[in-house]
Amino acid sequence: MRIVFNRTNLWSAVATLLLGAAQVHAQTSNVSLYGVLDVGFSSTSDVQGGKFNQIATRHESSFWGMRGREDLGDGMRASFQFERSVTVASGADGVRSSFVGLAGHHWGAITIGRQYDLLVDHVQTDPARQNSITTVVPGNYDRSLGNYLDNSIKYKSPAFGGVVFGAMVATSQGAAANAGRASGLNAMYEVPGTRVVATVLKVDGTTARPFNDLGVNSLFGISMGKDRTRSVVMDQTIVALGAFHDVGGVRLLGNFSDTALESVANGRKEHYRALRLGLYTPVKQGLKWGVGTSISTLSDSRWTNLHAIATYVFSPRSEVYVRAVTQRASGPQQAAALFLEGPSSSSRQTVYGAGITHRF
């Protein structure tokens, strides 16, 4: 039998081949697009002597991402994730995470690349993170915001009676031998309505701007001269314990961290400690609210944050909110400094805001 190819049946054959390939691919892998877009108006009472209004992402970090998973059989799967941050008001963006991984039902999961450090498991136990980015403890020196590590390898075990163990290492990232090097361990117990997590993480060679971050005029014996650009390089060793528990339609949250800071320049050490307590109503639709407080200390300085938020949830994807955060600072020549807002000219600083969040 002779088969004669012409343009019509050639294109038909190609279409059939491509369709078949797509169907095979769809059976073995899954790729999705997702993200969060948040933008609102906020007013800060005092940033170095003046009131400051802005349109910005403050309630939740805005980003978009792609992730995929392929079933390899025998309980194993390969995965990837790539995310970029978005500043909704200006359209600026940057890389958040990018990693690939391999997982098995019996031995756990390994991921490699730029990814959250182990302290991300504490985010859901921190009442500040239910309010806004502004409410994170001053300077985020205990990495409670949820931070990334480049060139990292993370391992998560399978669950043993609700307990999951984790480990992480990251290699040096720059010219300095210790810049970005990190290692840590954690353990988390989780069942519906309850989470308890403990983490130890050491991160070397991080850069901070003490007056801009904390409103302090000196750190490690180095004078900042009220210069917002003056920086120090330090090593951090963080020990953190957090928990949440649902009762009567309310989620109770608590988190404590003790961060040992060591100056790379002169070897001097300080301890940054933070205690956070709060509650919120984790409703899926309708009105939800949350309140909380945090107390942070460093040497003779102390910061007390109070925060409240009310959110109307239209659907699992869309919500609007109003929020308030206030801080009182005390200590020698100490200025208030809410996270990312810049130091106040006094010991008090307050932010009011409202906005909209959409998830996809």
Find the domain containing 44 and state its range. Answer: 30-359
Is 9 inside any structural domain?
no
At residue 260, the pLDDT reads 97
DSSP for 257-298 reads EEEEEEETTT--EEEEEEEEEEEE---SSEEEEEEEEEEEEE
CA–CA dist 98, 104 (Å, integer): 20
CATH code of residue 210: 2.40.160.10
Residue 28 corresponds to which tokens in the numbers above?
Answer: 């073995």
| 258-280: b (≥16 Cβ within 10 Å) or e | ebebebbeeeeebebbbebebbb
At residue 288, the pLDDT reads 95
Do residues 155 and 109 touch, judged by C-beta distance below 8 A?
Answer: yes
At residue 76, the pLDDT reads 94
Is 23 inside any structural domain?
no
CA–CA dist 206, 236 (Å, integer): 8
Do residues 147 and 133 touch, judged by C-beta distance below 8 A?
Answer: no
How many CB atoms lie under 10 A from the CB of residue 41?
14
- DSSP secondary structure letter of residue 21: H
Strands (DSSP E) contained in 49-181 are 50-56, 63-73, 76-86, 93-104, 108-116, 148-156, 163-170
At residue 174, the pLDDT reads 58
At residue 11, the pLDDT reads 44
Residue 62 corresponds to which tokens in the numbers above?
Answer: 């805005």
Burial of 67 (0-12, 13-18, 19+ CB in 10 A): middle
Please state, rounded to an integer, the average pLDDT across all residues of the chain: 89
Low-confidence ranges of the chain (pLDDT < 50): 1-27
Residue 74 corresponds to which tokens in the numbers above?
Answer: 């025998």
CA–CA dist 349, 215 (Å, integer): 11
Is 227 inside any structural domain?
yes
Is 138 inside any structural domain?
yes
CA–CA dist 106, 285 (Å, integer): 37
Do residues 347 and 41 touch, judged by C-beta distance below 8 A?
Answer: no
Residue 121 corresponds to which tokens in the numbers above?
Answer: 């498991």
Is 210 inside any structural domain?
yes
At residue 29, the pLDDT reads 67
Is 296 inside any structural domain?
yes
Is 24 inside any structural domain?
no
Is 75 inside any structural domain?
yes
User: What pTM, to 2 d.p., does this model score?
Assistant: 0.86
The DSSP H or E segment spanning 7 is helix 7-28
Do residues 139 and 214 touch, judged by C-beta distance below 8 A?
Answer: yes
At residue 10, the pLDDT reads 38
Report how many domains make up the chain.
1
